[in-house]
Chain A
Amino acid sequence: MPTGRNPATVVDIQDARELEPVLSPDAIAVYQVEDASIDPFKLSLENMAQAQALGSRLLRHTRLVGFDRDRRRINSARVQDVKTGEEMVIEPEMVVNAAGAWAGEVAALSGISFQILYSKGSLLVTDRRITRRIINRLRDPSDGDILVPGGTVSILGTTSVRVDSLEDIRPTPDEIDLIVDEGSAMIPILDKARYIRAYAGVRPLLKPEIEENDRSASRGFTLLDHARDGLENFVTIPGGKLTTYRFMAEKTADLVCERLGIQKPCRTRTEPLPSTEAGKWTEPGLGPRGWIKAKDPENPILCECEMVPKSSVAHIIEDARARGDRLDLRAIGLRSRVGKGSCQGTFCGKRVMAYMVEQGEFGGQTALNHLRDFLESRWSGERSVLWGEQMVQAELKEALYCGLSDLERWSLSEEKRSRNG
């Protein structure tokens, strides 16, 4: 149970450097606190899987395009499948807006406006795990002051930059340089470490919450009951931090239940989130352990950086099929370690794409479009850390896909063919 206090114990500097040998020799004091990290892919997949198991429906790749409302209620929501363009109408009793940074845009579709400010934060991913524990620099929250282990890699962050729009959210070279320089003061080897990706997220900040510092502002949360704005079946839960997300969900669900006349208490605080098949393969090392144990000659490794065998990919595909879902290459990447290693999809991208064609998941005509999407999704994270070894990697990737295989030309020839009838 959270106590609101995080007890800190003093650690002798010599002992600390034995526990984490990469710590700066310039450290003047070290404290140990209770801390933990999560696998965000697994957490998302398990949340979705539990919600589905309890009877909710998940519409992936689906965008809200509008609400139809009368004076007091939202009567229906119009959504569109972004892949097929097909529209669908949902008639809900209650609408919960948990769209994060997009919460303001979603609310605006109902005619309600509140102002959200955007604070962009950028992070870097190293090619290997640098420390066992989370390492924080002991100062007021600032740029480049935390290194978090994430399975086989470490994640270094972060920055806080106010942005006006949700378009073009990406780490800038200045942010990257700042993070690397600041991180190196805490852990000197970060200066020469190999970074395989960088990415940026947006912290949504509700206007009245804003204090001096964007980082400290958002740990609390506000549940907006839009009954006060005249819409009695619409609530927004903006902002917040991962640490409190279950608590935020509970408060939101309590309000929804009250409106729906349901008396039962919320069970999230007593029932842990179950581990599910769907989230299993995001765990580094799980695929290889099973693979080594089985020694099946017909189960080759498809992703060598992260040692993902064919059977893991097969398992993910089967699991999705059982729920009536079809996955593309990007979705395989989100559900496993495929493409997350230092080659960033150079070899596994082609192999997994070919395997999915062989399994009938998609046809030969769309296969290369899936591959292109997958490579672009990797690229968006690689682009800003391409120096040193990752520049070498990127050059090899382009030599194989463009120099050898003309993949950059693929969609053109497809269009040309359709023009020619």
Chain B
Amino acid sequence: MAEGASIECDLVVVGRGMAGMAATLFAANRGISTVQVGMIGEIIFASGCLDLLAFPSPETEAPLDDPWAAIDLLSQEMPEHPYTRMKREEIKAALDEIVSFLNAQGLPYINQPGQNVEMITPLGTVKQTYYAPESMGEGIEALREKAPCLLIDFHGLTDFSATQMAATLTDVWPNIRSARVSFPGNAENRELIPGDIMAETMELSKNRAELAQAVKPLVGNARVVGVPAVMGMKGTREILSDIKNQIGVPVFEIPTFPVSVPGLRLNETFAHGLLKKGVKRLLQTRVLRADPSNDGTFVLHTGKSEPEMTLHTRGVILATGRFWSRGLVADRNGIREPLLNLPVHQPEKRDQWHRERFLDLRGHPVNRAGVETDALFRPLSETGEPGFERLFAVGAILAHQDWKRMKCGSGLAISTAYKAVEAFSKMG
């Protein structure tokens, strides 16, 4: 790309995680000329499930079956949580718009309207989510009914142990068994890493036949078979149905530790859909400097490490995430927001960032650090007023939430992105 190239647009979305993808899609759907900038997001670590909210506070003893009831409790439990800035209809509209887009793009999601569902995790624990990839649906139903189930894993896939998961789950799901087979084309049992290569292997019908042949004699009384979530990048529905036809019982996917294929599928699906909607995406590029102009617009200098391009834009949505994606940076002296040096709400001292126990149920105070905003998700300056008319911050970078403990990551990302884009589109 020639140095000094420049683009004019209405809106720049910074970030490629769930919040950045959602904001870009909402903007494109509203006819806003949008450029998305960012390095590969945490989306490739995502389980693929869209959590809304299971715990109104990290300390809530048991998960709530009704995520909307959990959201209503936030006004008492965590009154500054970003959800409290929105109406239920807005959150719902945001989720609907994303899920219908994913469905239309061939990545179907399922849910039980108004209810969280329970699913099994790669540790063999049970967790709540709101929308799950269709490929996990049979597992959710089988867990609910405690139907006889066989979990399959592969020689060489050290990150996924069906034996351990079944042994851990047996207490809540007595009819669960495990077995290990060779992954198609890996008779030598070489080391395997979850990801696109395993997924693409399953796209070939001869490999599916090989897997089905290995699994079929093990099915026995099982009414359903669980497998690691590596069943194809695009044709998952057909792959699972093909295997089902060959082994005689339904097959479901279980999320894996990274790299997560359901996360890759989300990434690919958004990428493809956004391209079709005419969004300009500057991939593997970061915003190196952001200069606000006096007239309320922004000049962003982007590139891999040296400035390659200049973006002139009326609005900016920061969906830069937390520490992992450098939306926030911690050093010995404190936590800062590196792009615009926005004020960051944080504990007074470094010693208060983390609890003494990693798994302390209260969650770590640093998790609630972040950027504070007004009701339209515009970051507040030191004066307590929005610093810029058309600058928004959405998703995990926001203060007053603990998505890892409250199980609200995707819901938070999608709904705050929705609210910000709606606000921007009405500003004219």
Could you list which residues of chain A lie within 8 angstroms of chain B, going by C-beta atoms? 170, 172-173, 176-177, 180, 297-298, 300-302, 310, 347, 350-351, 353-355, 357-358, 363-365, 367-368, 371-372, 375-376, 378-380, 383-384, 386-388, 391-392, 394-410, 412-413, 416-417
Extra contacts, 5 of them, besides A302-B158, A371-B123, A387-B350 (Cβ < 8 A), are A367-B168, A368-B125, A387-B331, A392-B324, A406-B121
Residue of A nearest to B362 (CB): A408
> B189–A354 contact, CB under 8 A?
no
Report A-chain residues with C-beta under 8 Å of the C-beta of B127.
405-406, 409
Q: Which residues of B contact A397 (CB under 8 A)?
A: 358
A391 CA to B156 CA, complexed, in Å: 31
By beta carbon, the residue of chain B nearest A409 is B125
A14 shortest CB reach to chain B, Å: 33
Known: A388-B330, A406-B125, A406-B126. A400 touches B257 (CB 8 A): yes
CA distance A297 to B188 in the complex (A): 7
Q: Interface code B387-413, partner A: CB below 8 Å = 1, 0 otherwise?
A: 000000000000000011101010000
Decide: B255 and A391 in contact? CB cutoff 8 A.
no
Q: Which residues of B contact A380 (CB under 8 A)?
A: 356
Once the chains bind, are A364 and B125 in contact (CB under 8 Å)?
no
Contact of B359 among A376, A387, A392 (CB under 8 A): A376
Residues of B near A354 (CB, < 8 A) are: 158, 161, 163-164
Size range of the interface on B?
Answer: 35 or more
A375 to B123, CA, bound (A): 14
Contact of A358 among B163, B323, B353, B360 (CB under 8 A): B163
| B258, closest chain A residue (CB) | A400
Bound together, the chains give a CA A297 to CA B183 distance in angstroms of 14
A107 to chain B, nearest CB (A): 30
Pair A172/B351 contact, Cβ less than 8 Å = yes
What are the residues of chain B within 8 A of A372 when measuring CB–CB? 359
A402 touches B404 (CB 8 A): yes
Segment from B139-147, B169-177, B217-225 that makes contact with A: B169-177
Q: Determine whether B124 belongs to the interface, using a CB cutoff of 8 Å to chain A.
A: yes
Closest to A192 in B: B331
Kindly state the separation between the CA atoms of A173 and B334 in the bound complex, as whole angstroms. 12
Contact A405 B164 (CB under 8 A): no
Q: Is the CB of B125 within 8 A of A386?
A: no
User: 27 A-B residue contacts at CB 8 Å?
Assistant: A173-B350, A177-B332, A297-B190, A298-B189, A351-B159, A355-B161, A357-B164, A364-B124, A364-B169, A367-B167, A372-B359, A375-B359, A386-B330, A386-B353, A398-B364, A400-B45, A402-B405, A406-B123, A406-B125, A406-B127, A406-B407, A407-B123, A407-B125, A408-B359, A412-B61, A417-B171, A417-B172
A170 partner residues in chain B, CB cutoff 8 A: 356
Contact residues in B for A412 (Cβ distance below 8 Å): 61-62, 361
> Which of chain B's residues 248-266 have a Cβ closer than 8 Å to chain A?
255, 257-258
A403 touches B409 (CB 8 A): yes
| Inter-subunit contact A297/B359 (CB<8 Å) | no
Interface residues in chain B, defined as those with a beta carbon under 8 Å from any beta carbon in chain A: 42, 45, 47, 61-63, 121-127, 155-156, 158-159, 161, 163-172, 188-191, 255, 257-258, 322-324, 330-332, 349-351, 353-354, 356-361, 364, 367, 403-405, 407, 409
Q: Which residues of B contact A310 (CB under 8 A)?
A: 158
Give the nearest-CB partner of A377 in chain B: B358
In the complex formed, the residue of B with least CB distance to A351 is: B158
Given A367-B167, A408-B405, the answer on whether A357 and B354 have CB atoms closer than 8 Å is no
Alpha-carbon separation in the docked complex, A29 to B349 (Å):
39
Nearest CB in chain B to that of A353: its residue: B164
B residues in contact with A358, CB < 8 Å: 161, 163-164
Contact of A387 among B42, B171, B330 (CB under 8 A): B330
A365 touches B161 (CB 8 A): no
Q: Are A410 and B332 in contact (CB under 8 A)?
A: no
CA distance A56 to B189 in the complex (A): 43
Known contacts: A298-B189, A354-B161, A391-B323. The answer to whether A379 contacts B167 by CB under 8 A is no
CB-based closest 10 A-B pairs = A364-B167, A354-B161, A379-B358, A403-B404, A354-B164, A364-B168, A357-B164, A300-B191, A406-B127, A408-B359
A392 to B155, CA, bound (A): 31
A376 touching B404 by the CB < 8 A rule?
A: no
**A301 in contact with B169 given A350-B257, A391-B330, A412-B61 (CB within 8 Å):** no
What residues of A have a CB within 8 angstroms of the CB of B191 in the complex? 297, 300-301
Inter-subunit contact B354/A386 (CB<8 Å): yes
Residue in A300, A395, A404 whose beta carbon sits within 8 Å of that of B156 in the complex = A300
Closest to A380 in B: B356
Chain B positions within 8 Å of A364 at CB level: 124, 164-171
Residue of B45, B63, B161, B349 touching A173 (CB-CB under 8 A): B349
| A410 in complex: contacting residue of B125, B331, B360, B367, CB < 8 Å | B125
**Interchain CB contact (< 8 A) of B159 among A176, A350, A391, A405:** A350
CB distance from A92 to the nearest CB of B (A): 37
